[in-house]
A and B are shown apart, each in its own frame.
Chain A
Amino acid sequence: MPTTAPAFSDATASDSALRRFLFGLPGVDAVGLEARAASLGTRSIKTTAKAYAIDLAISMIDLTTLEGADTPGKVRALAAKAVHPDPTDRTTPRTAAVCVYPDMVATATAALAGSGVKVASVATAFPAGRAALDVKLADVRDAVAAGADEIDMVIDRGAFLSGRFMKVYEEILAVKAECGTARLKVIFETGELATYDNIRRASWLGMLAGADFIKTSTGKVATNATPANTLLMLEAVRDFRAQTGVQIGVKPAGGIRTTKDAVKFLVLVNETAGEDWLDNHWFRFGASSLLNDLLMQRQKLSTGRYSGPDYVTVD
């Protein structure tokens, strides 16, 4: 079993110790947090800075398709797009990963072999997470066996909201054990946790349990990634590294559709966690339609003209 960062081994010694630790974290003032996120949202990112941000954002995308209607053909098309996002400009960076359901991992792995683009798979009865632990672990094993480089798990929000933090913690540990070398992203579904205090607690719970990434949401509920909840999670990984030396990634997912939005998130990263996180090993966007907007803005920067949706590929 992976072990908790030594600085906090006491925090996870028992159910009550974990609860005390999580409730001992500083509170979050919602008004202040949102004001800070909004104020960073007014940064004006132009010319060279914009070009840098667009390429960085493209390289950070987990290009995602999570539909009941997904087919191998659809996944192969997405994989091709991840490798060459803009067929007219081969200098365009590749996306970080393609994110699919476990049964599509083999298809994605085959399509992406040798490209450097990772295969990420949601697992653990995504998106609700309402299944027995054995079923969730089997889901993870299946995805890892099929070649997934990264696993995006969901936490048991029911357990979290009813205060059974140790259950959530142990479940993450168990999933992490199944991951082997695959990196583990822990999805909190922040829209269901509802309060910023809960999001901070969930962030620390996930980090203590060995998450490689903490991730906002599934994209399947009403409220997904927001500048404020992402800022809060960036504060958590910043503080965690300061106290343990362990760096953990952040992945906002769902609802980030425009270049303007993506650039705002990168400003949050830059001015909160710092430049060490400005790399797709440490920050990802869970998104699909975002990529085309980034490509159109990229074309605009290089040609001086807006191209339009006919000049980027549909997924």
Chain B
Amino acid sequence: MASAFEYAPAPESRSVVDIAPSYGLFIDGEFTEAADGKVFKTVSPSTEEVLSEVAQAGAADVDRAVKAARKAFEKWSALPGSERAKYLFRIARIIQERSRELAVLETLDNGKPIKETRDADLPLVAAHFFYYAGWADKLDHAGYGANPRPLGVAGQVIPWNFPLLMLAWKIAPALATGNTVVLKPAETTPLSALFFADICRQAGLPKGVVNILTGYGDAGEALVTHSDVNKVAFTGSTAVGKAIARSVAGTDKKVTLELGGKGANIVFDDAPIDQAVEGIVTGIFFNQGQVCCAGSRLLVQESVQDEVLDALKRRLSTLRLGDPLDKNTDIGAINSAEQLARITTLVETGEAEGAERWSAPCELPSSGYWFAPTLFTNVTQAHTVARDEIFGPVLSVLSFRTPDEAVAKANNSQYGLSAGIWTEKGSRILAVANKLRAGVVWANTFNKFDPTSPFGGYKESGYGREGGRHGLEAYLDV
């Protein structure tokens, strides 16, 4: 972008985070090597630089971690809620104190801009622990009768798009309700979970209450199928979610699945257009679109379609793509070569099927995994890019004429995770929201999260709710 006002580089300092050359698994309060000694490397997606080498958990390690969690469960679940709350409050405060370090770490390992880790991920992580810390001694009043019991050992598998935030969504309610956990972070983003293990030690959390196993899908599978796990919580792809649902069928494990999405962002002709354009950008380009609840389908009323598209393209041309550690970067790197390949393939499919592609004019760095913000017009419900989850910075634009048509098109999806409504008319918000089959419906905003608000999906977007009072139920024997 050649402009008179050229922003000079403003990189956040890497020196605030000290990444060790290697890390072990965190089991029973100690870092240990994998039983078979296997390790794998984690790289920074923006540069492909190797950040560290971490232990690769196998079935034996899973068994060891589950045993540690089982052993810790007895005492942890017997603690008064107010005692468990103390640990959670302590963890929340340590996260706040170390937030800059964690933000830089997350940006390095994940590739997302420091602006997002600093202003969205980390504040939400701390807020989640604070929120569930508050519930720990009030479970009698959560609506499940007196003294609701925890389930036992929770096996949790989380994705790479919000590594630390998804960890918080999983661990905070589990611990508040008296469960112990074995958590497996994604293989491309293991580091922030390992730093969290250190925070657990710093907070004096009893050994075995939290166990972190870094590894691949086989470790995740071993965890969710382990016979002594009482609760399975998974966030990730619909394909893996289905496999998990099959593997736990016939057991008494309680399961929550938070899977894919193809969120519709519906812009009516009486919308606040400038703010709607911002909401469309936030909806699909936040975290490079690697968000399960992304507003990846724009449904815009025909009478304002041209106006909205012109404004959107103009706005996308101002997005700053590049070094994720630069404080002025809006669009960071795609998390992995594999994900980049998937996005590229789907975009090629879109073009082959006749949708019209437009990409923002920005220069992509020569190393690392990058994809320019892209939108497709001339898209119909029959196009692959309007149906499949791309999980990247790619927006499909469809139009509608009437509110009923908007609702019908929005609901015409195998998914049902999120939706957005843009209109200045309050009654229309309520009328449309009631008809949308989506777990989260945002009105005149998008991708806003709060620990007090439940989150989850319909249809192939999964089941169960995380966050809010509803999020307690997933970890209680009720």
Contact = CB atoms under 8 A, between A and B. Distances in A.
Contact of A44 (B5, B270, B273, B328): B328
Interface string A33-67: 10110000011111111101100100000000000
B8 A53 contact: no
A270 B279 CA distance: 20
Interface string A5-39: 00000000000000000000011110111011000
Given A36-B278, A43-B328, A28 B272 contact: yes
**Chain A interface size range:** 20 to 34
B5 A31 contact: no
A36 to B, nearest CB: 5
Given A44-B10, A270-B5, A275-B3, A31 B274 contact: no
Interface in B1-35: 3-10
Contacts of B271: 26-27
Q: Which of B115, B272, B273 has the most CB of A within 10 A?
A: B272
A266 interface: yes
Contact of B327 (A28, A33, A42, A48): A42
Given A32-B445, A42-B327, A44-B10, A235 B274 contact: yes
Q: Which of A29, A36, A52, A266 has the most CB of B within 10 A?
A: A29
Interface string A290-314: 0000000000000000000000000
Interface string B110-136: 000001000100000000000000000
Contact of B3 (A33, A42, A53, A270): A270
Interface string B32-68: 0000000000000000000000000000000000000
Interface in A84-127: none
Nearest to A263: B5
B278 A49 contact: no
B8 A32 contact: no
B7 A26 contact: no
B239 to A, nearest CB: 35
Interface in B425-477: 444-445
B318 interface: yes
A278 interface: yes
A28 B274 contact: yes
A16 to B, nearest CB: 20
Contacts of A26: 270-274
Contacts of B327: 42-44
Contacts of A28: 272, 274-275
Given A43-B328, A44-B327, A44-B328, A32 B272 contact: yes
Contacts of B278: 32, 35-36
Interface string B135-166: 00000000000000000000000000000000
Interface of B: 3-10, 115, 119, 270-275, 278-279, 318, 327-328, 424, 444-445
Q: Which 8 A-B pairs have the closest CB atoms?
A: A32-B275, A44-B10, A44-B327, A29-B272, A27-B424, A29-B275, A49-B8, A26-B273
